[in-house]
Every structure is written in C-alpha cells, then in structure tokens.
Amino acid sequence: MEIVILDGVDAVDRTAADIVERVVRADPAANPGRSAGSTAVLGLATGSTPVGTYRELARRHREDGLSFARCRAFLLDEYIGLSKTAEQSYFSFIRQNFVDHVDLDDAAVFSPDGDADDIAAEAQRYDAAIAAAGGIDVQILGIGTDGHIGFNEPGSSLRSRTRVKTLTEQTRVDNARFFDSPEDVPHHVLTQGLGTIDEARHLVLIATGESKADAVAAAVEGPLTAFCPASTIQWHPHATVLLDEAAASSLALAEYYRYAYANKPRWQHL
C-alpha cells in the first residue's frame, strides 16, 4: 500500500489521471488477462471525489489524443429501484461526468442493473461479466465517511461478492445532496463486494477534504476489519492511496509517507 499526500485537489486529480492514462496507453500484450482487441478494463467510481479526475482525463482526450475507444469500464455500484435513466442513477452519473466527454463506447460501459426483476441473479451476472472481461486493470475508489468502498457498509464480509446492501443512515445523509429531498435516497443498493474489488489488479483510492480524514486513517492505519470496509485495501498487493493534506490530517505516519514519496526511485511508477 502506498500513501501519497499531495498539495491540493488538482494534484490528486492529475496523479489519479496519470495512473489511468498509463494503463490506457499500455500495450495489451503486457497485461495478461486482457482479451484480444481490448485495451484497459477500467473500474470507475461515482460520487463527487473522482469527478476532477474524470475532467482531467477528458481534457487529455481533447488536447493530448488520449483515446478510450478500445477500453471497457465497470461501475462499482447502483441504487436499487431507480431506473437507469433517472438523473441520480450511477448509470446516468458516469455518462454525465465522464463517458459523454471521451470516446469510450457507451456499450462498453457496464453497471449493475438496480432495476432488474431478479436482483440476486443480476448480482451474479455482474461478477461473471467482470471476470469474462479479464478482470479490472485499475479500479478507482472513493471512500465514505463511514469507511465504505463501493457501497460496502461497515460489517461487509471481507470476501463478499456483488450483492444487495442496505445503506447506513450516514451514507443516505451524505448522498442526499444529489436528490431533491433526503427521503428520496434509496435504502438499498447493488454493489461489487469487497472480494470483487480485491480482484482488480490495481486499486487507487482517492480522498480529499477534512470530512474524509478519520475514515482514511481508519482504513490505512487501523486494523483490517469489516467494521471499516476500506481497510481491505491493506490486503491488496497493489493499492495506492491519493490524498490531499486535509484528508491526510489524521494520519499518524504522515511524515513518513511524505518522505517515502519525495524519495521515490525515479524508475518506480505508482
């Protein structure tokens, strides 16, 4: 796990975009598990945090020729009971904030269908679709103030697969800003499990702002526990945590992380 404390949200966005760009531009032959004809399989998070990263990637698409035309993408989660086309669905969110601004094929962007008749079957189908795509090369993650990743709320099984979860009241309150009224926030979601997320080849957790500081400290310096689902990234062989100073403000070893990053060997990528 590598913890990188950066000077401001823009630096976080640029660094996350650098990681995604390197994967998108990489030779497919160098990535075992990828099917022929496809470049990167991206794992996209929704919520406010990654929006700046998506904006930066869209800028590189416009100005630097970064092409997503051969990529596929999988979302982490979706609300249950909202139609895909509802403004607050993550199906819509990722299109408004990323897909519509780049050359990613809309048909190559997948998300769990929270409006499916058989939600349990949809969950299994989604995990199978990720596996059939060869797995996710780079998974962007936000973190909830209660330590969730995806919508894996505290108590989520560490090896869980895509399934239904019940949102905590704290998460419903945090997400109320996207809805007309707080009561409109659904209670249930379909989310990749912690075990599903753990199979991505590179996890990139992004957090900015003081409201995330305690959750970040619990995730990276606390115990590996279902009580803080984001702590499962400690278990992953390639996890990068990108923070601004505010989100890093509760870390005990912040000085060490700054020192390690400042002295990072030039040949070593994130």
Kindly list the catalytic residues: 77, 146, 148, 153
- Chain positions 29 to 88 lying near ligand PGA, rule: CB under 6 A, are 47-49
Cβ proximity to ligand PGA, 28 vs 209, nearer residue: 209
Contact status: 135 vs ligand PGA (CB under 6 A): no
Q: Minimum distance between the CB of residue 38 and ligand PGA, rounded to whole angstroms?
A: 27
Q: Minimum distance between the CB of residue 90 and ligand PGA, rounded to whole angstroms?
A: 11
**CB-CB neighbours of 85 under 10 Å:** 10
Long-range interactions of 28-33: CB distance < 8 A, separation 24+: 31/137, 31/201, 33/134, 33/135, 33/201
Helix (H, G, I), strand (E, B) or coil at 77: strand
Cβ proximity to ligand PGA, 48 vs 67, nearer residue: 48
Q: Which stretch binds ligand PGA (CB under 6 A): 138-146, 213-221, 235-243, 260-268?
A: 138-146
Cβ proximity to ligand PGA, 105 vs 210, nearer residue: 210
Supply 225's token pair: 């526990």
Q: Minimum distance between the CB of residue 143 and ligand PGA, rounded to whole angstroms?
A: 6
DSSP class of residue 228 equals B
Sheet-wide strand order for 163-166: 77-79, 188-191, 163-166
Q: Which stretch binds ligand PGA (CB under 6 A): 52-60, 142-150, 239-247, 249-257?
A: 142-150
Cβ atoms of 179 and 88 within 8 Å: the answer is: yes
Cβ proximity to ligand PGA, 133 vs 207, nearer residue: 207
* Residue where the block lists tokens 């609300």: 79
Using CA atoms, how far residue 113 sits from 43, 91, 95, 97, 261, in Å, is 16, 9, 15, 19, 40
> Which residue in the set 143, 218, 239, 241 belongs to the binding site for ligand PGA (CB under 6 A)?
143
Q: Minimum distance between the CB of residue 212 and ligand PGA, rounded to whole angstroms?
A: 7
Q: Which stretch binds ligand PGA (CB under 6 A): 88-96, 101-109, 141-149, 262-270?
A: 141-149
The length of the chain in residues reads: 270
> Which residue in the set 43, 52, 135, 142 belongs to the binding site for ligand PGA (CB under 6 A)?
142
Residue 120: CB partners within 8 Å, gap ≥ 6?
163, 164
Give, to the nearest 10 degrees, the angle between helix 9-25 and helix 51-64.
60
Q: Minimum distance between the CB of residue 144 and ligand PGA, rounded to whole angstroms?
A: 4
Question: Which residue from 247, 238, 154, 150 is spatially nearest to 195, judged by alpha carbons?
Answer: 150
Strand 202-207 and strand 138-141: the pairing is: parallel
* Residue where the block lists tokens 């022929």: 36
Cβ proximity to ligand PGA, 34 vs 236, nearer residue: 236
* Residue where the block lists tokens 């590598």: 2
Cβ proximity to ligand PGA, 48 vs 88, nearer residue: 48
Q: Minimum distance between the CB of residue 254 and ligand PGA, rounded to whole angstroms?
A: 21
Q: Which stretch binds ligand PGA (CB under 6 A): 65-73, 114-122, 143-151, 194-202?
A: 143-151
Looking at the DSSP bridge assignments, the partners of residue 244 are 6
Note the residues at the interface with ligand PGA (CB under 6 A).
Answer: 47-49, 142-144, 148
